[in-house]
Each structure stands twice: as C-alpha cells, then as structure tokens.
C-alpha cells in the first residue's frame, strides 16, 4: 500500500512539474490578441503589427510598413507564464489614450519616443513590457490598442517584385550578416554577443535586442536606410562618430527597457543615397560594436 501511494504521489508530482514547465498555448494567445504570430528562435512567439494604415513620407521617400512602421509584440515563456515585450507604432493623438489603458490593465510602459526626424505624419514608438498569464497579457494589449487605428487583420503578403533591388550578397558581405527580403525591403537583425537579461530572464534577439538595419529602394539606384543600433554605453559615441563620418544621421538615442543588464542604449539612424556609401557607413559603425558578425 505504501509503495502504491508513493508511486502515485511521484506520478502526480511529475505531472505537476511537467504542466508548470509547459509552454503556453500560443494559438489561444493569438486569439486573445486578435492576431496570430509565429515562433521565433529562442522559443519566442512574435506577432507583427505593421501600421499599413498610415501613409508616411520622409525626405520624399514613402515609408513602407516593413521599413520603419513595423510594430510588434513578442512573448517569451517562463514556465506556464510569459514575459511580453513590444514596440508599438502610434500616432501623436493615439499615444496617451493607449498608454493609459495599457497601464490600467497592468502593462508597463518602458519608453515612448521618435525613431525618425521630419517624417510626415509624425509617428511615435511605444515600448511595453509585462509578466504573467500570456492570454491575460494579450487581452490587455488588445484592449489598449483598440484605442488606436492599429489594423489587426491578416498582414498583406509582401508585393511581388521582378527581382531584388539590391545586390544582397554584396551587402551581406560588407555587414557580416545575412539579410532577408520582405517585399522590396531588405532587413537585417544582428544579435549582440552578450546575453541580455531582464531580471532572471534572458532576453533573446527576437525580443528586441538585435541591431536592426533596413534598406528600402529610393529610385535611381539609391536607397534609404534606417534602424537602430543596440549599444553599450562605451560604444555610443564611437558609433555616432562612424555614422556621421559617412553622412548618416542619428535621429534618436534612448532606452527601450527599464531593468536590462547590461544597460543598453538604442541609437536610431536615417540616410538616403547610394547603396554602397550607406553600406560602408553602417559597416564602419558595426565595427565599433560587439555584434555577432560573420
């Protein structure tokens, strides 16, 4: 009898432990948010929220959603719970109503700032974080974003193009990274060598700790480039100097998180010109960082 009881107790404990460590039901999380996501490296469930409803221009360049209007929300499992982080693209009139609703429902605001200069209309970028039941977090985010005009329908597929506007292999070689085409936009996500932590949680690149570099065709063989460098304090001014030396504007310098270790700074940039010139400048800036490059 004792053996039977001990066996049953062990089985129950094993079942409980297994349930506690199981990943959340991501399909249910997507339903609560109102839009499905995809699994990313590191077990991250990420939902893209591009502002395809906005028509933004900068220096005569129409800004495609995949280029600089691509908001997102990402969930990282922690047992049966999750940490959520996000970068939400909002207009000036949307910012405070969305912020107030998110805070009222337990979502922390970790930053609100610009990424671009001179863009019309102006867009702001709201960074958020939360911990707890992922379905409840998703529902809170959905209620907050309902106060914006964020489109929640299925993302339109990238427009078909006759061929890439860029010599992707040459840019890959110069940057020491592998890019991917999203329609006409060439995107890079370059992780740092350090492991970034938020409290006891590692924050993988898919949660927003990778250096982001995007290129968009701008006609006449030129391109526009934007993105953000994820930097340690000691790297900030060397990167600024490298960018300025190659005619690339620094458009913002700020934090995205509150409790990350090591402390990080996010430096946003913009330039418009020959692809080779832009690539050389970005490669020079990357050389000042501890990025994982080929």
For residue range 133-190, what is the model confidence (pLDDT) as tens digits?
999 999 999 999 999 999 997 766 766 666 678 999 999 999 999 999 999 999 999 9
Per the domain annotation, does 16 fall within a domain? no
Higher pLDDT, 159 or 56: 56
- 170 and 289 both lie in a single domain: yes
Residues 140 and 202 in one domain: no
Listed residues 135, 154, 173: the one ending a domain: 154
Domain of 253, in residue numbers: 163-294
User: How high is the pLDDT of residue 235?
Assistant: 98
Residue 2 predicted with pLDDT over 50: no
- Same domain, yes or no: 150 and 172: no
In this predicted model, which residue has the larger pLDDT, 150 or 219?
A: 150
Classify residue 5: in a domain, yes or no. no
Could you tell me the pTM of the whole model?
0.90
pLDDT band at 219 (very low <50, low <70, confident <90, very high): confident
Alpha helices in 246-288 (DSSP H): 275-286
What is the per-residue pLDDT for 225? 98
User: What is the percent of the chain where pLDDT is above 70?
Assistant: 90
| Between 3 and 190, the higher pLDDT residue | 190
Query: For residue 156, what pLDDT is reported?
Result: 67
Residue 122 has pLDDT above 50, yes or no: yes
Instruction: List the CATH number of the domain containing 266.
Output: 3.30.70
pLDDT at 26 over 80: yes
Sign for the pseudo-dihedral over CA of 25, 29, 31, 37? negative
Residue bearing the bigger pLDDT, 10 or 111: 111
pLDDT of residue 221: 85
In this prediction, residue 158 carries a pLDDT of 64
Percent of the chain with pLDDT over 90: 84
Q: Report the DSSP pairing between strands 44-50 and 38-40.
A: antiparallel
Q: Tokens for 251?
A: 């458009």
Flag whether 2 is in a domain. Answer: no
Q: Which residues pair with 212 in a beta bridge?
A: 189, 228
Among 29-38, 158-167, 280-289, the range scoring the smallest mean pLDDT is: 158-167
- Taking alpha carbons only, the member of 103, 106, 113, 97 closest to residue 146 is 97
Look at residue 10 and tell me whether its pLDDT is greater than 80.
no
């Amino acid at each position: 009898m004792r053996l039977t009881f001990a066996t049953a107790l062990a089985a129950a404990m094993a079942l409980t432990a297994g349930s506690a460590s199981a990943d959340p039901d991501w399909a249910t999380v997507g339903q609560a948010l109102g839009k499905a996501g995809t699994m990313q490296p590191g077990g991250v469930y990420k939902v893209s929220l591009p502002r395809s409803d906005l028509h933004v221009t900068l220096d005569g360049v129409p800004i495609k959603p995949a280029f600089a209007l691509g908001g997102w929300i990402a969930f990282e499992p922690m047992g049966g719970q999750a940490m959520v982080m996000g970068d939400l693209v909002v207009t000036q009139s949307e910012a405070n109503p969305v912020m107030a609703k998110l805070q009222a429902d337990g979502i922390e605001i970790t930053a609100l700032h610009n990424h671009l200069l001179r863009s019309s209309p102006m867009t702001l970028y709201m960074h958020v974080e939360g911990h707890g039941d992922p379905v409840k977090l998703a529902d809170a985010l959905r209620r907050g974003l309902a106060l914006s005009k964020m489109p929640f329908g299925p993302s339109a597929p990238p427009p078909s193009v006759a061929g890439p506007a860029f010599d992707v292999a040459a840019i890959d070689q110069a940057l020491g990274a592998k890019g991917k085409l999203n329609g006409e936009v060439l995107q890079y996500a370059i992780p740092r060598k350090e492991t970034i932590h938020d409290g006891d949680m590692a924050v993988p690149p898919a949660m927003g700790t990778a250096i982001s570099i995007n290129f968009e065709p701008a006609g006449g063989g030129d391109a526009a480039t934007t993105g953000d460098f994820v930097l340690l304090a000691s790297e900030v001014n060397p990167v600024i100097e490298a960018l300025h030396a190659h005619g690339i504007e620094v458009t913002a310098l700020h934090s995205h998180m509150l409790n990350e270790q090591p402390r990080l700074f996010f430096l946003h940039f913009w330039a418009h010109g020959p692809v080779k010139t832009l690539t050389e400048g970005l490669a020079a800036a990357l050389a000042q960082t501890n990025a994982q490059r080929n």
